[in-house]
A and B are shown apart, each in its own frame.
Chain A
Amino acid sequence: MDNILTLITFSPMLGILAILLTGKEHKDALRTIAAAATAIPLVLASILWVQFDTSEAGYQFVQEVSWIESLGVQFFVGIDGLSVPLVWLTTLLLFLAPFAAWKIEKGVKGFMLLLLLLEVGILGVFVSLDLFLFYVFWEVMLLPMYFLIGIWGGARREYAAIKFFLYTLAGSVLMLLAIVALYLCVYESVAHPFSIPLLSEMIRDGSLTGSNLVNGGELFGWSFLNWVFVFFFIGFAIKVPIVPLHTWLPDAHVEAPTSISMVLAGILLKLGCYGILRINLGMFSIVAPGYAEIGAVIGLVSILYGAFCAMAQTDFKRLVAYSSVSHMGYVLLGASAFTSAGLNGAAMQMFTHGTSSALLFLLVGVAYDRAHHREIEGFGGLANVAPIYTGITTLGFFAALGLPGMSGFVSEVLVLIGAWEVYPVYTAIAGLGIIITAGFLLWTLQRVFLGPLNEKYKDFPDVTAREKFTLIPLAFLCVLLGVMPMLLLGHMDATIESIRALFA
């Protein structure tokens, strides 16, 4: 079991090899290989989920191998309650992605290859406990994403792809500087200067302050740790994304093919949130409280701005994309509260949004495949001809707007309860976000599915078996976690408590 994380992370590589050896004309074979290759990490991650010790707050399944000796870089992986749900979610969504992309005919070989490479990158970020390794995976993930959006995307794919790449890189170069600076502080005194647990420990006990750097690491009167904290935060915040750094998101999500939109919304946004919780909160716990209120305000602005923007959209997919901005705001609001409920809510929101937004993007893809447009006003009365599709969409919408009994309700309520203790005013305003979200989702439901049937779509076929295969697991999770949230919270609780204890 010691190397299960390594196996999970690199098992998609088997698929890459197999795909390279398969001719590009065997499209079905290529799709099957991709599906099989993504099934392996899903199975392994499920084993991991079961084997995970829920009472342990620290890292589990740790593996440490020396990698680059001259810098003290290790292949250092491990998971805790924060990362284990995200690892599992990643393997699930990446397993569904080849099925969602089954209809793609152009360059199947390249698509599946990049998809598998993307999976390696994402999983690597979630399991890395070495900052150097973390950064390498973080960047490795960008390249396949650029090509996946850029080659297989919609009309404005070139623009969307490079915008996504540039925004993320702009943040990550600052993150790189922060990592280099941390390295310079400690490389003379410790053997493994990139170890996240070690650096966290050193920052907490005050032995890492940047005092051995030129000028004590101070610049423009700001202390070293503040700079490093902010550089990390910008890197992650672009990925979350927060308003006003979010403008890459609607473009990337809308132009990407369905399967990739699903991965983008379902997992890539969580990378930013995960980074904030793991690095900004976990590592810089002595600096973070100074920025808590700013974080809460940013979260609040994202919630409201995202929701209002979503309401104004006429494009179905753009609407879902903006609703993601809004939902990610809750994560930031919850995380900024430093309360047990807030942090639990934030961590849970990452997972629940991962399932519900992926579900919504799949549903939009279903409509687009049939109608070849995504104008909300262009549909109408689909409930009459596609009852199953309507049912699942309704369920997805309810999960997204936080109807009691659905997963989104639990996480959002936890966030609001947690934040209420600290920021009652902001929380009250954030509550408005839920109403606006409910407003635009129900309004969309009405325009697309209810009312008189649009004659153009009287032959609108209902969801096929392949589509059901991708939709039902996600829909099931939305309900399951609404009814039994402890399934997820139980795994996260010990770790979240340990993070909260940092701020007690």
Chain B
Amino acid sequence: MTPELLADLHAIMPEIWLVGAIVAAVLADLVLGERGRVVVTLLGMAGCALALCALTGDVHEPAGRVLGVLSIDSYAVFFRTLIIGGTGLILLHTLVFRGVEDCTRNEMVPMLLGTALGGCLLASTDNLIMLLLSMELLSLCSYLLAGWQRTERRSSEAALKYLVYGAVASAVMTFGFSLLYGLSGSVNMAEIGLAVSDAWSGGAGSGQLVVILATVLVGTGMFFKVAAFPFHFWAPDVYQGAPTPVTTFLAVGSKAAGFAVLVRFVHGVYLGDALNPAWLERLGWMMAVLAAVTMTYGNITAVLQRNVKRLLAYSSIAHAGYLLMGLAVMTSGSADEAVTEGMDSLLFYMASYYVATLGAFGCVMALANRFGCEELDDMNGLAWSAPWTSTFLVIFLVSLTGLPPTVGFIGKWMLFKATLDAGLYWLAVVAALNAVVALFYYFKVARALFLRGDQEVVEGLPSRGIMPGLAAASLAGLAGVAVYYGLMFDDLAAWVSASLL
């Protein structure tokens, strides 16, 4: 093997570990069958752990390019860390999740690892073909996972809905890619950026039309993936119908990968060296409006929900709006400072959203495992039986609302700072008032758990073995992380700042 190839392989070591874990999990499933579910899960988690070690081991600076299609920079490392770490935790929770039959549980492990693999590649690529392939890998595994509860009508409905919408969105995005290819003759984002800039400065002829059309088409596909308004319609049904571990992945892993590629695309294509102020102004304005509408729509609709998974689905739409604020700042002006600050705040917010959402879904799963509840009304008074899980859930919800002393507050802080600095005063005010709406529905969960019901201890289903304990410990760990980084976030902020494109 040539040294170059070795270095390439080294750079995608995490992905190789994931593939290895997929193979190992499939083989272990074949040999051990249903009884080996702990082993299969542990293999999957071990794969994630090794991949994480490989990630933290060597950060490639300057950006290492692999096979000409992957850009393994610190930005990719940031998102891959989130995705792989999240998947490892989700695997643990999948093992103890009561909603799926034991005979199909093992097969979820390679599937989840497959989504993670797709997400990692998606976060690293700056090549449109690779982007499409990895997004399809992520999506196909997600479609299957969403319908995993075969006997549940809702689950099948979720899978079909996700598949149909997803296929259309992919097709539309691909059409946009083909336009961009036609414009530039390249599938590399940076080269497309040059061509887009040229086409725009060519005047109000067909060049501009193509750019606008391609942007809208590509935007549709990517906004679908991150569940931003107006391409969010799939999210509530799919989130509610899918098994909760899968919902968790959709809310965190899938969203992180979607934003990773969205930001890389915007950065590469529109904010390259040849950026065009007139064009940027329109894009920035559009992003700001979409951010405001997405968060307001998500929050206000979330208020009406009675199912906790559905509530979190709308909340994840709202958070897509918050994340879009970062993108709005990036595209708000031609200053490099705005690009850096916007991306910085977006990445930090993503990290804070990631921890809190992972934790919140984990708590919802823990409660559902013990008490079989997903409707808010069924959760009444459970805090008296499960005080710790409920307390952790409140911590995560507080973080999602954006109140100190949690990392969510710092995430909001970063966003507000970037938005005000970019002069988008109205957007900052809209976002701030949205936090008040968010508090109302997040605390509907706290209200059900703590304030309602007859407030007496009820016995839930017993949990067997050590794994539920481990899952609970992981929630405690996440809650600790959420509070720790709310008070001492220098390290996290430094990591984020070092991970920009």
Contact = CB atoms under 8 A, between A and B. Distances in A.
Contact of A170 (B423, B425, B433): B433
Tell which of B425, B429, B452, B455 has the most Cβ of chain A within 10 Å.
B425
A7 to B, nearest CB: 19
27 contacts: A68-B488, A68-B490, A69-B490, A70-B493, A136-B409, A140-B404, A142-B403, A146-B443, A146-B446, A151-B451, A151-B455, A158-B452, A162-B440, A166-B436, A169-B435, A173-B435, A173-B436, A176-B412, A176-B416, A177-B416, A180-B416, A180-B417, A180-B428, A213-B420, A213-B423, A214-B421, A219-B425
A157 B451 contact: yes
Nearest to B415: A180
Contacts of A214: 421-423
B417 A183 contact: yes
A52 interface: no
A147 B439 contact: no
Listed residue (A68, A161, A170, A214) with the most chain B CB atoms within 10 angstroms of its CB = A214
Interface string A197-220: 000000000000000011100010
Instruction: Indicate the member of A151, A161, A169, A184 with the most B CB atoms within 10 Å.
Output: A169
B148 to A, nearest CB: 36
Contacts of B484: none
Contacts of A170: 433, 436
B439 A180 contact: no
B479 interface: no
A151 B450 contact: yes
A423 interface: no
Nearest to B447: A158
B451 A136 contact: no
Contacts of A157: 451
A494 to B, nearest CB: 33
A68 B403 CA distance: 17
A176 B412 CA distance: 10
A158 B422 CA distance: 40
Nearest to B416: A180
A106 B436 contact: no
Given A158-B451, A213-B421, 11 more contacts: A69-B490, A107-B384, A110-B387, A135-B404, A139-B409, A143-B403, A151-B450, A161-B451, A169-B436, A173-B436, A180-B428
B415 to A, nearest CB: 10
A140 B398 CA distance: 10
B416 A70 contact: no
B306 to A, nearest CB: 16
Interface in A211-267: 213-215, 219
A329 interface: no
Interface string B446-460: 110011100100000
Interface string B407-418: 001001100110
A181 B422 CA distance: 11
- Which 9 A-B pairs have CB atoms at the shortest separation, nearest pair first? A214-B423, A173-B432, A136-B404, A150-B451, A180-B416, A170-B436, A139-B404, A70-B493, A139-B403
Interface residues of A, number: 36
A172 B457 CA distance: 36
B447 A150 contact: yes
A149 B71 CA distance: 53
B429 A169 contact: no
A150 B455 CA distance: 12
Contacts of B168: none
Contacts of A165: 439, 443
A174 interface: yes
Contacts of A162: 440, 443, 447
A70 B410 CA distance: 12
Given A146-B443, A169-B435, A183-B417, A68 B489 contact: yes
Contact of B439 (A150, A166, A174): A166
A180 B455 contact: no
Interface of B: 384, 387, 394, 398, 403-405, 409, 412-413, 416-417, 420-423, 425, 428-429, 432-433, 435-436, 439-440, 443, 446-447, 450-452, 455, 488-490, 493-494
A183 B446 CA distance: 33
Contact of A106 (B387, B413, B423, B455): B455
Given A135-B404, A214-B422, A169 B451 contact: no
Contacts of B447: 150, 158, 161-162
Contacts of B387: 110
A219 to B, nearest CB: 5
B443 A180 contact: no
Interface in A25-51: none
A30 to B, nearest CB: 15
A219 B403 CA distance: 27
A177 B398 CA distance: 18
Interface in A117-166: 135-136, 139-140, 142-143, 146-147, 150-151, 157-158, 161-162, 165-166
A106 B494 CA distance: 46
Instruction: Give the residue among B387, B413, B451 with the most A Cβ atoms within 10 A.
Output: B451
Contacts of A106: 455
A150 B447 CA distance: 8
A12 to B, nearest CB: 16
Contacts of A176: 412-413, 416, 432
Contacts of B435: 169, 173
A53 to B, nearest CB: 32
A70 B494 contact: yes
Nearest to A174: B432
Contacts of B494: 70
A184 B432 contact: no
B450 to A, nearest CB: 6
Contacts of A213: 420-421, 423
Nearest to B493: A70
Interface string A102-118: 00001100100000000
Contact of A143 (B398, B425, B451): B398
A284 B432 CA distance: 23
Contacts of B398: 143
Contacts of B440: 162, 166
Contacts of B416: 176-177, 180
Contact of A180 (B384, B420, B433, B451): B420
Nearest to A138: B404
Contacts of A107: 384, 455
B376 to A, nearest CB: 13
Given A68-B490, A143-B403, A184 B436 contact: no
Given A176-B416, A177-B416, A177-B429, A136 B405 contact: yes
A177 B420 contact: yes
Nearest to A157: B451
Nearest to A214: B423
A142 B490 CA distance: 25
A169 B423 CA distance: 24
Nearest to A173: B432
A183 B384 CA distance: 42
Nearest to B428: A177
Nearest to B423: A214
A305 to B, nearest CB: 25
B141 to A, nearest CB: 38
Contacts of A110: 387
Nearest to A158: B451
B450 A147 contact: yes
B428 to A, nearest CB: 6
A430 B394 CA distance: 45
Nearest to B413: A180
A136 B384 CA distance: 28
A151 B450 CA distance: 7
